[in-house]
Chain A
Amino acid sequence: MTAAMETEKPKILVLFAHPYPHLSRVNRAMADAVRDLPHVTFHDLYETYPDFFIHVKHEQGLLLDHDVVVMQHPFYWYSCPSLLKEWMDAVLEYGWAYGTGGEALQGKELAQAVSTGGPDEAYRAEGYNGITMAELLRPFERSAALCGMTYREPFLLQGARLKKPDEVSAHAAAYRQWLIDYPHPKNCIGCEAPAVPASDRVG
């Protein structure tokens, strides 16, 4: 955490990835709840890059301007919608985000605000997925680590498709509060793992 974040609100970049937000209940309500927060830059990826051609330099500039990156998306096929993956592939360049000289994101934070269709019972060793969310999100956690970022506990809503309207709005309000209350007590995930050795960072 940088010194600036201790004294004033950290600048948060929300990377919103949902191909059809007008058909979504949860993610649209969440988006509408946080769009106006002054310390938050709400960045709608599908609206900005409908043809999947990402302006890499612009995105890197946005990352440099913020302390925290929050990826907000539904959980598609145990991962993120494809444009967000494309964003990661294109923007987190070798020599910039990782690898030799790739130190641009050192010390920044990454978190995810994810909604899953299946209930949380399903995401347990004994559930039908047989695997936990933490394990499923490991590719993101590891990506953060490779970029020298701290990966925070995700803000989850599970069983989203069965939530009633009042539960949806409560979740949206909680999401807003979660962003307002940032930074949260240390809840670094994967920080107990050894740091990525320099030899691997160099790639």
Chain B
Amino acid sequence: MDGLLLNGVIYLAAAVIAVPIAKRLGLGSVLGYLIAGIVIGPWGLKLIVDVEAILHFSEFGVVLLLFVIGLELNPRRLWQMRWPIIGLGGGQVIGTTVLLGTVGILIGWPWQVALAAGLGLSLSSTAIALQPLTERNLLTTPGGRSAFSILLFQDIAVIPMLALLPLLAVAPAVTGQSEGWIGAAKAVAAIGIIIFGGRFLTRPLFRIVADTGLREVFTAVALLLVFGIALLMQLAGLSMALGAFLAGVLLAESEYRHELETDIEPFKGLLLGLFFTAVGMSVDFGLLLSHPVKVLAMVLGLIAVKAVVLLAIARIARLQWSQTWLFVFLLAQGGEFAFVLFGSAASFGIMDADTVALLTVVVALSMATAPLLVVLNDKLIEPRFVRGDDRPHDVPEDEGNPVIVAGFGRFGQIVVRLLYANRIGVTVLDHDSEIIDTLRRFDFKVFYGDATRLDLLEAAGAAKAKVLVVAVDSQEASLQLVDLAQKHFPQLKIVARARDLPHAMELLNRKVPVIERETFRSALWLGEETLKALGQTAYAARQKTLTFKQHNEALLQQLHAHWGDDIDKRITLQRQARARLQQNLEADEKAQESARGLGWD
């Protein structure tokens, strides 16, 4: 008991100290956990020794992660992804296995060992790769989707790989064959149970539990479900994470989805953290110290080979360069299933203990480098692509259009459609090539390019145009564009979208004649609808809304005059303005009321 308590304190303390520091340093949470693990592990402060047990236990973090991801993918969307999963995933696993296996044979391993090693090393760590993707909300980008497809394929591929191992044994046992059949039958049965249960049993169960109104029982049922599935999968010799993912997908359309997600989330986070910590602890620095060159060469070789395959896949999948590198770095490491696969290979006598130990440390080290590579990508590589990507920008044709619109996202599109509808010639610039390709299919003529480049603006006819609509997402780009236009094309009337108050202030500083805060009017309109929903007449609600708008716009000018002042002064200003608005609205109401008595009825 004491030991458990002590271990708990050690883990939590390590995480609480290391993760915020790592985050502050821009290293990401995964690296923080890994470092915490290295520090408290057998090669650090030796606070924790039984790494194996912890690693095993914390695999539930990965299980819960896959469950939550499954919850966000309903069967229909999963079905839509079938080709990326098979194509990209199959390409990655087969390509990597072949390349690594060849390397293995070249360094003199028997082909069985080379194949088993290649299979195990082709896998990537789902947890390590998905954590940054979910943290940054990148799962819906093409790069994120491709990475996810590959990870999912790998999770599925573990099953046939484990089934293949007995066949690679140098002296296959006679019973191997029949055990294989029994294994297959078990696997089919387990998946059948999950699909049947997920479809027909869980919803009534959740309904009953939810009706009791006991929140913790609901949480208990959710955890029981996931752990039960994990157990079932383990009994059948399958990936626990895959089973949990399947269950998540089946529950993605149930009405309890959001409750399940919020209930599981904290457990997922903690256990996943524990998992990363355990990976950090399991790095065998002894082996690294005794054979530093060999181990490091193998880690680099592994990452290089996997990166080459991933790079090729990214090119085939036509990912943008800006997304390609993150995709490559996230998947170029080894994965936790490699440990399982190598353990199994050892038990069948395919690999000897030394090889397994060596490969394990290589995989663990590569897993530790993945977050480092992500940081490297963030700091060095990605900044080069943020402004657009490898696509050469178009040379806009100068059609003598009176209007240039920079930025064709949700905002710019509405502006442009209004102008198009009135047959006003518009030259549109945007630097998101995905948006452009989509919109071109809708017959919008959009030029690809960075609107903050002088040559591009010139080519777009900025010298002769009348109006420049600045509707870009990035505030920085917006201000740059305004500066550029004011300096080189003084005749252009600038109308600008402001993302928020500070941005509006910057635009006011530049004396941009028309500034529209992007959410202001729609929020006003919704407020007006609320007044109406409360029973006010449409005209009175409109008048009140417009009064508010008038005041707010005046306040914006005042705030601008005091923008450099300290926050307290601005707060006082706001407070005064609010009181004044209140008085005015009340006075308006009084005036209308007295009109009843004094004027006409």
Q: What separation, in Å, do the CA atoms of A46 and B532 have in the docked complex?
A: 13
Residues in A neighbouring B540, C-beta threshold 8 A:
19-20, 22
Tell which of A24, A25, A47 touches B538, judged by Cβ atoms closer than 8 Å. A47
Quote the shortest CB–CB distance from B504 to chain A (angstroms): 25
Task: Please name 8 further chain A to chain B contacts, defined as beta carbons within 8 Å, in addition to the given A25-B601, A26-B601, A47-B537, sorted by A numbering.
Answer: A19-B540, A20-B540, A20-B595, A21-B537, A23-B592, A46-B537, A50-B543, A117-B600
Q: What separation, in Å, do the CA atoms of A116 and B601 have in the docked complex?
A: 7
Q: Are B542 and A117 in contact, with the CB atoms below 8 A?
A: no
Interface flags, A167-198, vs B, CB<8A=1, else 0: 00000000000000000000000000000000
Majority secondary structure of chain B interface residues (helix, strand, loop or mixed): helix
Q: What separation, in Å, do the CA atoms of A162 and B320 have in the docked complex?
A: 77
> B residues within 8 Å of A by Cβ?
536-543, 592-593, 595-601
A72 within 8 A of B: no
Q: Are A47 and B539 in contact, with the CB atoms below 8 A?
A: yes
Quote the shortest CB–CB distance from A19 to chain B (angstroms): 5
7 contacts between A and B (CB under 8 A): A20-B537, A20-B539, A20-B592, A46-B537, A50-B541, A50-B542, A161-B597
Quote the shortest CB–CB distance from A151 to chain B (angstroms): 22
Residues in B neighbouring A48, C-beta threshold 8 A:
538
Q: Are A75 and B600 in contact, with the CB atoms below 8 A?
A: yes
Q: What separation, in Å, do the CA atoms of A76 and B541 have in the docked complex?
A: 21
Q: What separation, in Å, do the CA atoms of A51 and B537 have in the docked complex?
A: 12
Q: Are A115 and B601 in contact, with the CB atoms below 8 A?
A: yes
Interface flags, A22-34, vs B, CB<8A=1, else 0: 1111110000000
Q: Are A76 and B593 in contact, with the CB atoms below 8 A?
A: no
Tell which of B538, B593, B596 touches A46, judged by Cβ atoms closer than 8 Å. B538
Q: What separation, in Å, do the CA atoms of A116 and B595 have in the docked complex?
A: 13
Quote the shortest CB–CB distance from B186 to chain A (angstroms): 68
Contact size class for A?
Answer: 20 to 34
Counting chain B CB atoms within 10 Å of each CB, the highest count among A26, A50, A76 belongs to A50
A97 within 8 A of B: no
Q: Are A117 and B537 in contact, with the CB atoms below 8 A?
A: no
Quote the shortest CB–CB distance from B585 to chain A (angstroms): 14
Q: Are A23 and B539 in contact, with the CB atoms below 8 A?
A: no
A74 within 8 A of B: yes
Counting chain A CB atoms within 10 Å of each CB, the highest count among B542, B597, B600 belongs to B600
Q: List 3 tightest A-B contacts by C-beta distance, closest first.
A: A50-B542, A46-B539, A117-B600
User: Given contacts A74-B601, A117-B601, is CB(A24)–CB(B539) below 8 Å?
Assistant: no
Q: What separation, in Å, do the CA atoms of A74 and B596 have in the docked complex?
A: 11
Tell which of B537, B543, B598 touches A22, judged by Cβ atoms closer than 8 Å. B537
Quote the shortest CB–CB distance from B79 to chain A (angstroms): 45
A70 within 8 A of B: no
Quote the shortest CB–CB distance from A4 to chain B (angstroms): 33
A160 within 8 A of B: yes
User: Given contacts A74-B601, A160-B601, A161-B601, is CB(A24)–CB(B596) below 8 Å?
Assistant: yes
Counting chain B CB atoms within 10 Å of each CB, the highest count among A19, A23, A25, A76 belongs to A23
Quote the shortest CB–CB distance from B524 to chain A (angstroms): 12
Q: What separation, in Å, do the CA atoms of A109 and B537 have in the docked complex?
A: 29
Residues in B neighbouring A26, C-beta threshold 8 A:
601
For A83, the closest partner residue in chain B by CB is B539
Residues in B neighbouring A160, C-beta threshold 8 A:
600-601
User: Given contacts A20-B537, A74-B601, A160-B601, is CB(A25)–CB(B596) below 8 Å?
Assistant: yes
Q: What separation, in Å, do the CA atoms of A19 and B7 have in the docked complex?
A: 73
Q: Are B596 and A23 in contact, with the CB atoms below 8 A?
A: yes
Q: What separation, in Å, do the CA atoms of A25 and B596 have in the docked complex?
A: 8
Q: What separation, in Å, do the CA atoms of A48 and B540 have in the docked complex?
A: 12
Q: Are A23 and B595 in contact, with the CB atoms below 8 A?
A: yes
Quote the shortest CB–CB distance from A20 to chain B (angstroms): 5
Quote the shortest CB–CB distance from B597 to chain A (angstroms): 7
Q: Are B593 and A23 in contact, with the CB atoms below 8 A?
A: yes
Q: Are B542 and A24 in contact, with the CB atoms below 8 A?
A: no
Residues in B neighbouring A22, C-beta threshold 8 A:
536-537, 540
Quote the shortest CB–CB distance from B543 to chain A (angstroms): 8
Interface flags, A1-43, vs B, CB<8A=1, else 0: 0000000000000000001111111110000000000000000
Residues in A neighbouring B595, C-beta threshold 8 A:
20, 23
Q: What separation, in Å, do the CA atoms of A193 and B540 have in the docked complex?
A: 41
Residues in A neighbouring B541, C-beta threshold 8 A:
50
Residues in A neighbouring B596, C-beta threshold 8 A:
23-25, 161
Q: What separation, in Å, do the CA atoms of A161 and B543 have in the docked complex?
A: 24
